Amino acid sequence: MSLKSCTQKETNRYILEISVDKDTFASAVSKAFQRNSKKISIPGFRKGKAPRAMVEKLYGKDVFYEDALNIVYPDTAEEAIKESALTLVGGNKDIEFELVSMDENGVEFKITVTTKPEVSISGYTGLVAEKETAVVTDEEVEEEINRLADRNSRLVVVERAAQDGDTAVIDFEGFLEGVPFDGGKGSGYSLVIGSGQFIPGFEEQIIGKKAGEEFDVDVSFPEDYGAENLAGKPVVFKCTLHDVKVKELPAIDDEFAKDVSEFDTLDAFKADFMAKALERKQAATDNKFESDIIDQLVDLVEAEIPECMFSERVDDNMRDMEYRMKSQGMDMKTYMQYTGSTIESLRDSLAEPAQKQVKTRLALEKIAELEGLKPTEDEVNAELERYAEDFKVDVERVKQAFPVAEIELDLSVKKAVDFIKSSAVVKAPEAATKKKPATKNAAKSPAKKPAAKPKAKKADEE
């Protein structure tokens, strides 16, 4: 193989002229014959047993040339690209092929490839972005504790008339013009009065009724109701109220803390929650700050970016979307039916984010280059080990699947992100809302007790 020339055709497009020598091509022709010989039938010979010379005499000396070219092309093109020292983008689908000559003396062909663009960037240090101070208030802690108490509540029967917010256990059957209708009957149904589960006007008519009472509920179905035979029609529901239940919340004390957590006291539980909530908020504000800083790089990039880079990124995003769909038990076809979208509309919706992603990546790679940000050998090995652990394979398999050069580049990009953040200027939000500062218990989580106690049972399900 020989790279005869490498010529720039236009911005980010190069023509590589490549030759394959006589011996290499002859070997490929022999392989092509061996692959095809079993399918060849010639009178006077058993199928697959005709000599190559006879086949070539009958069909022409070049009968196996095209298959031979397909054999030598992948390795030959790859070697030529490496020799050219070009960094390609767009994949094989963006490579144009042109055959120059092909005979017993060898092959010559040209490929036109797209390369990664030259990038320039400046002004990437000292970027400014707002960042809120993460705080957790006592009120937030109390709200969470109350929500937790609500999840651990239970329903108890009360001997009184039903009120708004109570749970009524009822039997009901609906009648249209004195005739029962389909779907209008229920038995032992637990209905939270005021929840809006039933059609308007139904739940309010249970208020004031007591357990054991039988009564009629007169309502009309909405005009836009799904069943045409009931839409806008007045109906009567004959009901029986069996029980009136109210939600009983547990006392929020040390015993409650023991039941729902691994702490012995309510104060310790609250302090632990506050510390963890503060940690989550801090991570969220840090992530937003980083995102706002990185977003500013897009406008600082100067480059003629090939369209294929954007298209390739859209392809990646489409594959990611399809993977997420499958993980949720839905395929892309079903999703498009539900949303009324098409492949084209989905790709259009992903086009703008793809452009942003490509420009951001190019910016970070260039910053890593300008600042000399490279991972150490230990950092690369640690990343390889992490990949191996994630995919449950050995490190050598990881090296085969993920070129070390790509992993090194990814690590350099991460260092570029850290570099940008370290030089950025934090700006306090202009209209920040003052919050009550966290109590001193938030400084650190209390020591945990030796063994966790059993969790409280969930609320009774009716």
Least confident of 55-64, 155-164, 303-312: 55-64
Tell which wins on pLDDT, 409 or 38.
409
Beta strands 214-220 and 106-114 are unpaired
Tell which wins on pLDDT, 172 or 338.
172
328, 332, 337, 341: CA torsion to nearest 10: 120
Least confident of 164-173, 225-234, 409-418: 225-234
For residue range 241-276, what is the model confidence (pLDDT) as tens digits? 999 999 999 999 999 999 999 999 999 999 999 999
Q: What is the DSSP string of 244-272?
A: EEEEEPPP-SHHHHHHHSS-SSHHHHHHH
Predicted confidence band of residue 1 (pLDDT cuts 50, 70, 90): low
> Can you list the domains of the chain with their CATH numbers?
2-116 (3.30.70.1050), 117-152+252-462 (1.10.3120.10), 154-248 (3.10.50.40)
Which tokens hold the place of 217? 């509920």
Least confident of 115-124, 286-295, 316-325, 426-435: 426-435
Task: Report the alpha-carbon distance of residue 398 to residue 390 in Å, rounded.
Answer: 10
Average pLDDT value for the chain: 90
Tell which wins on pLDDT, 241 or 457.
241
For residue range 3-13, what is the model confidence (pLDDT) as tens digits? 999 999 999 99
Least confident of 58-72, 190-204, 324-338, 406-420: 324-338
pLDDT value for 431: 60
Task: Report the alpha-carbon distance of residue 173 to residue 193 in Å, rounded.
Answer: 18
Neighbours of 148 (CB within 10 A): 18
pTM, rounded to two decimals? 0.70
For residue range 190-208, what is the model confidence (pLDDT) as tens digits? 999 999 999 999 999 999 9
For residue range 98-110, what is the model confidence (pLDDT) as tens digits? 999 999 999 999 9
Q: What is the DSSP string of 120-140?
A: EE---SS-EEE-PPP---HHH
β-partners of residue 240 are: 171, 214
Find the mean pLDDT for residues 318-329.
91
